[in-house]
Amino acid sequence: MYKAPVSDMTFALEALQHVAPQLMETMPDQEMRDVILNEAAKLAGDVLAPLNHQADKAGGAQHFEDGSVKTPEGFAAAYQQLSDGGWTSMEGSETYGGQALSLALSSCVNEMWQASNMAFSLCHLLTQGLISALQHSASEAQKNLFLPPMIEGRWTGTMNLTEPQAGTDLAAIKTKAVKQGDHYLISGQKIYITYGEHDMAENIIHLVLARTPDAPAGHKGISVFIVPKFLVNEDGSLGEQNDVTCVSIEKKLGIKGSPTAVLQYGDKGGAIGYLVGEENQGLAIMFGMMNHARFNVGLQGLAMCDRALQQAISYAVTRVQGTPLGTDAGSPIIHHPDVTRLIGQMKAESEAMRALMLYGAALLDKAEEGDAAIQQRADFMIPIIKGWLTEQSLIMTSHNVQIHGGMGFIEETGAAQHYRDARILPIYEGTTAIQSNDLVFRKTLRDDGAEITSLLAEIRADIAHISADNAILADLATELEVACQATEGAVAFLLSQQNQPRIAAAAGVPYLMMLGTLTGGWMLLRQGTYAVSALAKPDADTAFLENKLASLSLFTALSLPQVAAFAKTISKAGTAIHHLSLDQLTA
């Protein structure tokens, strides 16, 4: 079963408040924070987690000939509990009935949802993304009509981008939008629409990318439309069903409980849609919500890592197999040195990932105030958070299977489900390769390395301060400086390849993973300064705080050395691939 890591979350929030108070000004007071986290933990553990494995075993949602979809047993009632408890309103603007909680706090709640039952919680996450998009880009009339019911939890939302011939390449979309009076008629097919049809809410609001007849070719000709499942009257009541049908749901490797729909628009003349913003501005609007969406997928990666860690520990402290070196017969497998290593690395990296996720959330919170420098740093960190955390989820869920041994390969334990569920995370909302291209070309080469140079300077400022004032952390700070030097060399190499884009692109994923590991270590070192200061207090939880320092030591020993390895790969991989004949791969 799942137990939300409330103490770890609280520590991470307090540590970030300690080292970067300017980023945490929108956090509620401690009492409110604790109430929110503890109540969310109960819902995650008692309601959502028990539904997770049973939905996977049952095969997920069911699709019927009339286009309706029935979600797994218990999902609809659980969503009603989220709505009744006000959880669907966390991030919404107060103007439309939301709580306007800081992303740093709501992200902790969302981590609980995703870790306890990712297939179920995708619906909530997508609806929050749509709420964010409409708050930023819709007209006031559209906001007043569509936002309150979604914030209340009565309606849910989707994003409709992908088509059979247009995945990553959105320029290839063919869905049509023909103007008719004050609305448009939408026709075409969209695929991979998570919760595109379900029985958990009374209406579903689709945000659909489409082209008008005279739109320019390519990316410049894309518009975005609100297309409700049921038409909405001026008073907010529901009218007749729109011309949108779920023709099937996909059979998937993982997250089976979530219905991934194929939606057909316009079989009866055209689905009524309402333009958001102006014609041909759709891609700009969608990319405006991409930071939010990609951040949340990174959060899902963290959630799967924590779920795998909890399950691995639970199994390793009870399973007896062989006699671990240096122990007595009957000792559980956690005493085997390699199992100790795997769990230690999983724990340290999970804590680094949570700290990095919260740093990103705090940046996004602060960026809402219009601070250009903070927005630039947030933009730089998002592909790292999305890419590193999701790639790590594949490694950690695999470690969990490994620790279970043969039992991990058996579906009954649930370890295999987490492994399968995590596999989508480095793919949707932009693959790891797309994140790395963004990081290399838009976030590093375009500004001639200015932002990464600024980031390294900030890390080194922390290292200098810690080295001078904190003997406990000085050695660890020194190791982080070595990692900074390796990173600096890799950045210099990439900057030297500005006229060789294929070489830079081939080095992109190692570059992203290097920066994820580096900044994860930086976040843990920052947390270490808070742990040391907290240990000096008379009421300190000594064991808990020393565990945090142990995680820092483990990360420094087991993970941080990878920075140098990634840096070396960056300087070699692109050139090797550039000179490789594809015949050598395909012959």
Measured CA to CA, the distance from residue 235 to residue 232 in angstroms comes to 8
State the Rg of the chain over Cα: 24
Measured CA to CA, the distance from residue 155 to residue 271 in angstroms comes to 18
Where helices occur in 281-322 by DSSP H, the ranges are 282-288, 290-316
User: 280, 219 in Cβ contact below 8 A?
Assistant: no
User: 345, 558 in Cβ contact below 8 A?
Assistant: yes
Q: Is 191 helix (H, G, I), strand (E, B) or coil?
A: strand
Show Cβ contacts of residue 296 under 8 Å, excluding neighbours closer than 6 positions. 110, 125, 128, 129
Is the sign of the CA dihedral 554, 431, 307, 326 positive or negative?
negative
Identify the bridge partners of residue 166 per DSSP, sorted by sequence position: 163
Phi, psi of 271 (to 5 degrees): -80, 135
Measured CA to CA, the distance from residue 555 to residue 520 in angstroms comes to 9
CA 70-73-74 angle, 5° bins: 115
CA dihedral 471, 476, 478, 483 (to 10 degrees): -160
Phi-psi sector, 546: left (phi>0), alpha (psi -120 to 50), beta: alpha
List the catalytic residues.
429
Identify the bridge partners of residue 526 per DSSP, sorted by sequence position: none
Least Cα distance to 95 among 134, 121, 126 occurs for: 134
Measured CA to CA, the distance from residue 48 to residue 63 in angstroms comes to 22
